[in-house]
Structure 1
């Protein structure tokens, strides 16, 4: 583990490393038709970068950091089941849905215009 970054995407904070893939809820600038496989993405909402013993923390984001990657494919999460029971009314209701996700792989993390080595 040489280095990692913490990014803010899809309403969550993710710890990302180059060469790994991640599932996120959505990318704010992407419309549904742009989330095809092979689409290159750049994430500028980088909260923290750790490389070897050096840690850079943004307030709230680092202004000179970029995480670059590409979309592998759209996917869906496991089904979330919601059960509602009203006691003494003899009513039960079972609902479920699957969250639409996008799987992307991180290609590089750059700070001050230089890519951090993998």
Structure 2
């Protein structure tokens, strides 16, 4: 059984036991959360899709940790103009573990 959920402007395909790094959620570490923006649920051959969301479906998860991704480098350069600009960025994330899918 798997589901497609939407959180933080992105879509994720999840199964029970999966660990995900999603955009930062304002919850405490160790707390349980309900993700109610479920786009699709599949159980074997039975597939349920929403238009765009399923009303009754929910995905439950536990917050494992908060952290920051690896740094990415942004480098801009104009050739022959002596223009170079370097910048770095680290995005915050919340790591969750999927504990249940209800359709």
Q: How would you bin the TM-score normalised by the shorter chain? A: over 0.9
Higher strand share: 2
Structure-2 residue corresponding to 1:16? 14
2:86 to 74, 77, 94: 94
> Which runs of structure 1 show a deviation greater than 3 angstroms over 4 or more consecutive aligned residues?
none
TM-score by length of structure 1 reads: 0.83
1:104 to 86, 96, 99: 96
Offset at residue 50 of structure 1 (A): 0.5
For the Cα contact (< 8 Å) 2:20–2:95, is it kept in 1? yes
Spell out, residue by residue over 1:26-63, the C-alpha distance to the aligned partner (whole angstroms, 9 max, x if none). 34xx3xxx3x2111110110000000110000001000
> Bigger shift: 75-84 or 54-63?
75-84
Distance (whole Å) between structure 1 residues aligned to residue 48 and residue 2 of structure 2: 11
Offset at residue 66 of structure 1 (A): 0.3
Structure 2 segments unaligned to the other structure (5+ residues): none
TM-score by length of structure 2 reads: 0.95
- Aligned pair count reads 103
For the Cα contact (< 8 Å) 2:38–2:53, is it kept in 1? yes
Distance (whole Å) between structure 2 residues aligned to residue 79 and residue 25 of structure 1: 16
For the Cα contact (< 8 Å) 1:6–1:48, is it kept in 2? yes
The residue correspondences of 1:1-118 to structure 2 (distance < 5 A) are: 3-27=1-25, 30=26, 34=27, 36-111=28-103
Structure 1 segments unaligned to the other structure (5+ residues): 112-118
